[in-house]
Structure 1
Amino acid sequence: MQDFVQTFRDRFGILPPEGMLPKHPLLPFDGAAMLVGSEIAHAHGVALAQAEIGPFLRTAPEGYLLVGFWGHGVQSHAFYYVRVDAQSRVYFRLPHGGVYMDNERAAQRIRAFLTRYFAIEPVLRARTISFVAVDAMGEARYRLVGKDGTTVELDRSLLVDASFEERFAPVLPPL
């Protein structure tokens, strides 16, 4: 796990945001790929391609966590943060590491995106009954259901403009 934390820091210039990694250890899927996951993720299997996102959202069990770096070919490399808990389903597949990518620019975007997302996630937990957050290689789907029943749906990526507060404002009234 220390290798993963160091790689994350080297690539993005920050430590993994508070809340990203659990207190219990994660198990490697493939040491070379820097991809780790919960025991539940190992039992359920990984969802690494765009076509697998829909089935993942429908079937992944609570306690599923996958985080790290993986890619195939020369262009389809990404940082993954995939999680299921009682309130949320999160699937982030953020482009980084491909041979033709501007990886420095990608790292800046990922750093800003993750920092802002993990800052707002406690607010989402307090003010929604459920949320789905998918941002994967430019395609996205966000669905938040507020405690008052207000629903926000968004089908645009927030990676470049991580304006979560603005986009989710209808479900984020003051407590």
Structure 2
Amino acid sequence: MKRLVQTFHDRFGILPPEGMLPTGPLRPFDGAAMLVGSEVAHAHGVALAQAEIGPFLRSAPEGYLLVGFWGHGVQSHAFYYVRVDAHSRVYFRLPHGGVYMDNERAAERIRVFLTRYFAIEPQLRAQTTSFVAVDAMGEARYRLVGKDGTTVELDHSLLVDAAFEERFAPLLPSP
């Protein structure tokens, strides 16, 4: 996992935000990609292509965690953060690393997105009964169910503006 943390820092200019990585070990997947995962992820398998996200979200078991970098071809490369727990299903496939991408701009967007997401996630856990957060190569689906029954649904990516507090305001305590 040290290699993943170093690569994350090298590409995005920050260490993984607090709450992103577990304190326990993650094991690398075989192959040239830099992907690590929980034992549950190794047993269940990976879902890396866009068409696999829906079936994955319906079937992935609790304890699933996959983090890292993977791509195919010259342009379809991404940073992955995929997690399933009792409260949430999160699938981030954020574009970065393709030959023709503006990778500096992509890195800045990912840095802001992940920093803001993991800063607000503790509030989301406290204020919701469940949430799904999918942001994958420009396509997205967010569905959050508040403890009072309020539901927030979005179907657009937050990678470019990362305005989580604004978008999820109906579920958050007033400042």
* TM-score over 0.5 (shorter chain): yes
| 1:15 matched residue in structure 2 | 15
Q: Which range moved further: 111-120 or 20-29?
A: 20-29
What are the within-5 Å matches in structure 2 for residues 1-175 of structure 1? 1-30=1-30, 32-174=32-174
- Over residues 94-133 of structure 1, what are the superposed CA-to-partner deviations in whole Å (9 max), with x where a residue is unaligned? 0000000000000000000000000000000000000000
Counterparts of 1:15 and 1:108, CA distance in 2: 13
- Over residues 124-146 of structure 1, what are the superposed CA-to-partner deviations in whole Å (9 max), with x where a residue is unaligned? 00000000000000000000000
Uncovered stretches (5+) of structure 1, i.e. residues with no partner:
none
- Matched AA of 2:169: A
Counterparts of 1:95 and 1:164, CA distance in 2: 19
Uncovered stretches (5+) of structure 2, i.e. residues with no partner:
none
Following superposition, the deviation at residue 50 of structure 1 comes to 0.6
Counterparts of 2:20 and 2:54, CA distance in 1: 22
Counterparts of 2:3 and 2:30, CA distance in 1: 12
- Matched AA of 1:151: T
Counterparts of 1:30 and 1:165, CA distance in 2: 38
Please state whether the residue corresponding to 1:94 is helix, strand or coil.
Answer: strand
Following superposition, the deviation at residue 86 of structure 1 comes to 0.3
Percent of pairs with identical residues: 89
Following superposition, the deviation at residue 167 of structure 1 comes to 0.3
> Where in structure 1 do 4 or more consecutive aligned residues deviate above 2 Å?
none
Counterparts of 1:32 and 1:14, CA distance in 2: 23
Cα RMSD, aligned residues only: 1.0
Counterparts of 1:19 and 1:166, CA distance in 2: 21
Please state whether the residue corresponding to 1:30 is helix, strand or coil.
Answer: coil
- Matched AA of 2:65: L
Output the TM-score relative to the length of structure 2.
0.98
Q: Count how many residue pairs are aligned between Structure 1 and Structure 2.
A: 175
Q: Are residues 18 and 28 of structure 1, via their aligned partners in 2, closer, same or farther at CA, if it must alter by over 3 Å?
A: same
Following superposition, the deviation at residue 31 of structure 1 comes to 5.7
- Over residues 9-36 of structure 1, what are the superposed CA-to-partner deviations in whole Å (9 max), with x where a residue is unaligned? 0000000011111111101013631100
